[in-house]
Structure formats: structure tokens, C-alpha cells
């Protein structure tokens, strides 16, 4: 069944505005810059970036609404067969957020919520929602991971009791840095291609996506206010730079959104907004045995029950 795509897009743009307003208030120092851009082939977006704040060293909250002829490599990526006598068209809209904090005791947080339609000559070939939220701490605090996952489970359970377990596993598998044999962080939830079924209407799936989007700020606010004033040293800043390097590796090597955007002629500045302002790679680095850094590395693995930790 069809859904009003402009209604979806309008809600995403509203979400961007609300989150930016609240983050500026939480930061207390910096403001978001606004960069409105147009896509030559159709559509455009609003990239909003905050830098050098009291809380956030660099962050971005991006909104986009793009449309037009589907590039051939996009069809291959989406595994959709094009009508033999007609070029397919697409419509995509969403919000993407990445925040890199100043204090290394605070985590990197990422959220994305999105909607896609692909149309042939006389039919809707596909439409679905995707998204998720995940947390990448520089230092893992089990109580923070527990709170984060409980918030996500609460959001999922309002709509389908099976969502959290399924989407947590999806996140564990997706945010896995294969060449390092470690997860990017403590995971979260990840979902894609949620479309209408006999049990769920497309409107009910949109309601779930709204729930995820609306859970972002209160969850981040709680994490930020707990850790933003903790003391740290140059050692912790060095470790933060190394962990940011791992974050960068994942985004440039594995992240589907980054690869998809670059391969389909997306706006480079907006796509690479997620990268940290400073990062570091130290040859063959190994943290001291028993250190907080080693403890964090040991916990970067799949299938951890963060809600009921040992």
C-alpha cells in the first residue's frame, strides 16, 4: 500500500529541526551551520553541522529528499529488476546523525532513519523504511550500555515484541569491523527494508520509525549529562583518537550508506560529515594489560546481553 511520501519527508525535516534545536541548547556554546543544497538530477537536502562546542567537537544532522531516474548501479545494489521498457525512478528521504564529543568518556552516537520508493512505468516496484541507532564508546561503561539498550528495547516493544532481539542482532552483525575482529561499539538496533506485510501496514512501520527518531535526543541527553564533566588526561584523548580511527575505518570500508552515496553520485560533503575531526593510527598499538583501554577492547564483541550483563 502507498504512503504519502511528502508527509514522510516533512516529518523527517521536522525531526532534524527539533534535534538541532535541542542539541544546541544541550551544548550551550556552539550553533549549527545550515547548508541547503540541490541535487542536479532531482531533489536536495539540508546539511547542518556543529563544531567546536562545549560538548560536541563535531556533529552533523543531515536531512535529504532526492528523486529521479534510478542509476543502474543503484538497482544492482538494491537487487531490483528494472522494467524492460521503462527506466525506473526513485524517491528517497531521511535523516542521518553522527555526534563526536569532546570528552572521551562520552560515546560517539549515530542514528539514521530513511524511506525509499522505486517505481516502474505503471507500478511501485518497492518501498520500505530503514534505520537504527548505535553507540560507539571510547570507553565502555556497562551501566551506560544497559541504559542505552533498554531505551531501544522500550521503543521497539511499543510496536512489536520481536523487534528488539532481531534488530539488535542485525546491528551486532552490521557494525562489525571484520578486519579488526571487533564491533564498532556496543551496537544498538539496525533494520532495513521494512515494508508492508499481512501483519504490519506501511503506516504502522512509519509509526515505529517515528518512535526510533524521537528516542534519539532524550537518550543522548541522558548519556551526555552523565559523562560530559568527567575528568580526562592526554592518555584518554590519545585513546579517543585511536577509537575514532576505528570508526573511520568502518565508515569508509563497510558502511553501506557511505558506499551507496558515493557510488550513486551523492553529495560528498554530506556523506563524509560522519567522519571525526581528529583521529589517529598508531602502528601495532596494544593497550597495557588490565587497563581501561584493554577492558574496552575485550568487550567489543557480538551478542552481548547489555540489558542483563553478567
Sheet holding 124-136, edge to edge: 33-38, 43-51, 56-69, 89-101, 108-119, 124-136, 187-194
**Residue 85 confidence (pLDDT):** 45
- What is the tens place of the pLDDT at every residue in 104-120? 999 999 999 999 998 87
Q: Model's pTM, two decimal places? A: 0.94
**Residue 81 confidence (pLDDT):** 62
Homologous superfamily of domain range 5-298: Coproporphyrinogen III oxidase, aerobic (3.40.1500.10)
**Residue 218 confidence (pLDDT):** 98
Q: How far apart are CA 300 and CA 136, in angstroms?
A: 10
Of the listed 110, 119, 138, 149, which one is catalytic?
A: 110
Q: Is 110 a catalytic residue?
A: yes
What are the residue ranges in the chain where pLDDT is below 50?
84-85
Instruction: Show the cell assigned to 117.
Output: 520508493
- What is the tens place of the pLDDT at every residue in 208-225? 999 999 999 999 999 999
- What is the tens place of the pLDDT at every residue in 52-97? 999 999 999 999 999 988 766 666 666 666 554 457 888 999 999 9
Q: How far apart are the first and last CA of the chain?
A: 45
- Which residues lie below 8 Å from residue 131, measured CB to CB, with a gap of 6+? 94, 111, 112, 113, 114, 190, 191, 192, 209, 212, 213
**Residue 122 confidence (pLDDT):** 57
Instruction: Show the cell assigned to 86.
Output: 521503462
**Residue 200 confidence (pLDDT):** 83
**Residue 9 confidence (pLDDT):** 97
Cβ density class 178-204: b for 16+ within 10 Å, e for less: eeeebbbbbbbbbbeebebeeeeebee
C-alpha 276 chain-centroid distance: 14
**Residue 79 confidence (pLDDT):** 63
Amino acid at each position: 500500500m502507498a504512503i504519502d511520501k511528502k508527509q514522510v519527508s516533512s516529518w523527517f525535516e521536522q525531526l532534524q529541526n527539533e534535534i538541532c534545536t535541542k542539541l544546541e541548547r544541550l551544548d550551550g556554546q556552539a550553533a549549527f551551520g545550515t547548508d541547503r543544497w540541490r541535487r542536479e538530477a532531482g531533489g536536495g537536502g539540508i546539511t547542518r553541522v556543529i563544531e567546536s562546542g562545549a560538548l560536541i567537537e563535531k556533529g552533523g544532522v543531515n536531512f535529504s529528499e532526492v528523486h529521479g531516474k534510478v542509476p543502474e548501479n543503484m538497482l544492482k545494489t538494491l537487487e531490483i529488476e528494472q522494467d524492460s521498457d521503462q527506466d525506473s525512478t526513485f524517491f528517497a528521504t531521511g535523516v542521518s546523525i553522527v555526534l563526536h564529543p569532546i570528552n572521551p568518556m562520552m560515546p560517539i552516537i549515530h542514528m539514521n532513519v530513511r524511506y525509499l520508493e522505486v517505481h516502474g512505468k505503471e507500478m511501485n516496484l518497492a518501498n520500505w523504511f530503514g534505520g537504527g541507532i548505535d553507540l560507539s564508546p571510547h570507553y565502555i561503561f556497562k551501566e551506560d550500555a544497559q541504559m542505552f539498550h533498554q531505551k531501544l528495547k522500550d521503543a521497539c516493544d511499543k510496536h512489536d515484541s520481536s523487534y528488539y532481539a532481531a534488530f539488535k542482532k542485525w546491528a551486532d552483525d552490521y557494525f562489525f569491523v571484520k578486519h579488526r575482529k571487533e564491533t564498532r561499539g556496543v551496537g544498538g538496533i539496525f533494520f532495513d527494508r521494512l515494508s508492508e506485510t499481512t501483519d504490519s501496514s506501511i503506516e504502522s512501520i512509519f509509526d515505529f520509525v517515528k518512535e526510533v527518531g524521537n528516542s534519539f535526543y532524550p537518550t543522548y541527553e541522558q548519556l551526555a549529562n552523565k559523562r560530559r564533566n568527567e575528568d580526562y588526561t592526554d592518555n584518554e584523548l590519545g585513546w579517543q583518537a585511536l577509537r575514532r580511527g576505528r570508526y573511520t575505518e568502518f565508515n569508509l570500508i563497510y558502511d553501506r550508506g557511505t558506499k551507496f552515496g558515493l557510488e550513486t553520485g551523492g553529495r560528498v560533503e554530506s556523506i563524509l560529515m560522519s567522519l571525526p575531526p581528529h583521529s589517529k593510527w598508531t602502528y601495532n598499538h596494544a593497550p597495557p594489560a588490565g587497563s581501561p583501554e584493554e577492558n574496552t577492547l575485550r568487550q567489543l564483541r557480538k551478542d552481548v546481553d547489555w540489558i542483563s550483563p553478567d
